[in-house]
Chains A and B, each alone.
Chain A
Amino acid sequence: MGFNVETYFSDLSNGNQILYFKGNIDSDLINRVLDSVEARMIDGKERPKLRKKVYNVLVESLQNLYHHVEKVPEGFEDQKSEKYGMLAINKVDNGYKIITGNFIFSEDVEMLEEKIKRINRSSHDELTELYKFILNHQRISSKGGGGLGLVDIARKSGNKLEYLFKDYDEKSSFFSLKILVSEIN
């Protein structure tokens, strides 16, 4: 076990963490997170524009986890959660940082990394074209995802997707995505 998932997430926390969760990502959890973050942003008098962007990106991030996480590796502390994921939301100077973590099969790393790199190379207009292409040409997958989530996240956040992959064991890798949603794009 080369990579310590726990340490990785606790290192990300700082004084401005507004939410941290690890465990099963089901529909109820998604509702609770969305409600609590939305209420918090309204209390914090965030401008509607930023609030909507954060909400949108959060919906997609959570539903990406819901649709795409793989089973946790054998020997991992939490064997009960069917859809194990981690989520942290930090308030930063100019917006919010949303960090997710989950296990994927190591054999899928290359494809996912290529996809993210392609998104990160694209301008806003290119992302719009890519989004429209996928929207119009791809059917909803068996997992229920539309293949649009990451493109939509990049488009709405206006920032590059930060990510990391860490080998966990011979079959599984840990994938983390860090998304900055900021006021000024």
Chain B
Amino acid sequence: MEPIIIEGTPKTPTINFDAKEGVFEIKGRSIPENSVEFYKPLVDWLDSYKETPLNKTVVNIKLEYFNTSSSKCILDVFKKLEAIHKAKNDVEVNWYYEEDDEDMLEAGEDYESIIRVPFKMIEIAE
């Protein structure tokens, strides 16, 4: 599978989904007005990956900001990962948040409580 690599913009995150390594990263700001447009290809890509996933998939979420419109799309991404996990593959989400950013920590905890995939909350220095 070809990886998805998208460079970040002030309103959309950097994406690096590497099927060979099983490492997926979403990083930066995700605040577009129409987030479905941005996330649809990622969700479709995960649909294909889900057919033949690696034994272990690691997902790194390093978001500085995301808007509520993205929050639904990010949930869709996690739902695909949940399906991979449910099919007895290892999936791990690393949710990074900056020191003191309780809102971002809480946002990670929101997903952790909805999605049945192991989450690790990782604090990083500003």
Q: Please give the residue numbers on chain A whose beta carbons come within 8 Å of chain B beta carbons, in ascending order.
A: 27, 30-31, 34-35, 48-49, 52-53, 55-56, 59-60, 63, 66-67, 128, 131-132, 135-136, 139-140, 144-146, 148-149, 152, 155-156
**Which B residues are CB-close (under 8 A) to A145?**
68-69
| A/B interface sample: 21 pairs, CB < 8 A | A27-B33, A48-B98, A48-B101, A52-B101, A52-B103, A52-B104, A63-B31, A63-B69, A66-B33, A67-B33, A132-B110, A132-B114, A136-B114, A144-B33, A145-B68, A146-B71, A146-B72, A148-B68, A148-B71, A152-B68, A156-B103
- Interface size class of chain B, counting residues whose CB lies under 8 Å from the partner chain: 20 to 34
B113 within 8 A of A: yes
> CA separation between A21 and B103, bound complex, in Å?
28
Q: How far is the CB of B74 from chain A (nearest CB, A)?
A: 9
Q: Does B19 contact A (CB under 8 A)?
A: no
- Interface SS of A by simple majority: helix
Q: A8 vs B106: C-alpha distance in the bound complex, in angstroms? A: 36
Q: A63-B67, A144-B69, A148-B71 in contact; A30/B98 too (CB < 8 A)?
A: no
Q: CB within 8 Å of A: which of B59-89?
A: 65, 67-69, 71-72, 75
Question: Would you give the 0/1 interface string for B30-74, flagging 1 where the beta carbon is closer than 8 Å to chain A?
Answer: 010110100000000000000000000000000001011101100
CA distance A59 to B33 in the complex (A): 9
